[in-house]
Amino acid sequence: MGYVLSREAFAAVIADLSKNYRIFAPVRKEGAGRFTDVDAVIYDYVCDSEKIELEAKSDYASKEFLTPLSETLLYFTENEVKESDLDTRPVLVFGRSCDINSLKRLDQIYLDNGLAKDPFYKRRRDLVKYVLIGCGHSYDNCFCVSMESNKCDDGYVFSIDLVEDNIQSNVPDKDFDKYFAQHCNDKKDVAPRYVKENEVKVAVPDSVPLSVITDALWDEYTTRCINCGRCNYVCPTCTCYTMQDVFYSDNGKVGERRRVGASCMVDGYTDVAGGGQYRRKNGERMRFKVLHKISDFKKRFGYHMCVGCGRCDDICPEYISFSNIIGKVYQASKEVK
């Protein structure tokens, strides 16, 4: 069941929710895009429904609350270590179907990929509930249907669809029903919208033969890719990070340990002791990233890492298309068989 709300009623729902939850949602930042006069849609905390961007796909993914680009984990002195404090108020994160499907990938890596759960991820994860923004149409570069991430049957507390200036909300979580019921008595059968077909379609090979791994198809990216790492930072499923110990300059024995987002495309990622580096060429880095997203992760966990959101294509300054590369890998794998 759900509700059809006016904009005003929806504003009242968000205002009430913001008394009990921090709301982390896509927001339009005017002029903050990569070209002059181009906006960026990024995540931020909001209390006002008017600030939530419901139409455009966000440039960055909703994972930023769970895995901030930079997070202080510990403070240390000579003999003591103190875990950093965390604001423990609950959080509602707004995301599309690809974002909510990406959560399964993040949980897999941080909570279910070894003997121990990552405590710093878990303490944030325990605070979060998701709100689904329905997709009334496909966006540039999306291929979520091919990656089976176009739909969410669960994993959200309520949904939002902007339809002809009304907000339609499906509310599967009973705890959230009261927020809607007090501002709207128009209870209806409402289902979140989802995309059934994308313009971009990909076929993912069942397995990638060794000869494709050493194929010349990767060489093109050694010159085209400028190893800026933007594709990793916007990706809802990239989970790599590095650690930084920062010593306060006026006391070299006191400092903090930070977890900072890392990118497999940038220099330094594969540096090892003695000056070695495993993947020097950008083409080799591209091969690693692509095969991790569409082959290696699946071999280990049984499903693809990539959710087909297309954000890496949207952001690449060299117009490199991830879906095109999947197509090339598929074709090359087929030719071997």
Applying CB under 6 A, which residues contact ligand SF4?
225-231, 234-237, 265, 293, 306-312, 315-318, 320, 322
To the nearest whole angstrom, how small is the minimum distance from the Cβ of residue 307 to ligand SF4? 5
Asked if residue 321 lies in contact with residue 225, where contact means CB atoms within 8 angstroms, the answer is: no
In this complex, which beta carbon is closest to ligand SF4, that of residue 236 or of residue 261? 236
DSSP per position, 134-146: --SS--TT--TTT
Nearest CA-CA partner of 171 in 183, 158, 188: 158
In this complex, which beta carbon is closest to ligand SF4, that of residue 95 or of residue 236? 236
Number of C-beta neighbours around residue 276 at 10 A? 9
In this complex, which beta carbon is closest to ligand SF4, that of residue 134 or of residue 310? 310
Structure tokens at 52: 């939530």
To the nearest whole angstrom, how small is the minimum distance from the Cβ of residue 284 to ligand SF4? 12
Q: How far apart are CA 96 and CA 62, in angstroms?
A: 9
In this complex, which beta carbon is closest to ligand SF4, that of residue 125 or of residue 311? 311
To the nearest whole angstrom, how small is the minimum distance from the Cβ of residue 159 to ligand SF4? 21
Give me the phi and psi of 154, to 5 degrees please: -155, -170
In this complex, which beta carbon is closest to ligand SF4, that of residue 92 or of residue 309? 309
Nearest CA-CA partner of 138 in 325, 303, 314: 314
Burial grade of 164 (CB within 10 A; 0-12, 13-18, 19 or more): exposed
In this complex, which beta carbon is closest to ligand SF4, that of residue 57 or of residue 193? 57
To the nearest whole angstrom, how small is the minimum distance from the Cβ of residue 140 to ligand SF4? 12
* E strand or H helix at 108: helix 97-111
To the nearest whole angstrom, how small is the minimum distance from the Cβ of residue 312 to ligand SF4? 3
In this complex, which beta carbon is closest to ligand SF4, that of residue 229 or of residue 255? 229
To the nearest whole angstrom, how small is the minimum distance from the Cβ of residue 123 to ligand SF4? 25
Q: Strands (DSSP E) along 7-98, which ranges? A: 22-29, 40-46, 70-76, 81-83, 91-95
* E strand or H helix at 174: helix 174-181
Asked if residue 14 lies in contact with residue 48, where contact means CB atoms within 8 angstroms, the answer is: yes
To the nearest whole angstrom, how small is the minimum distance from the Cβ of residue 323 to ligand SF4? 7
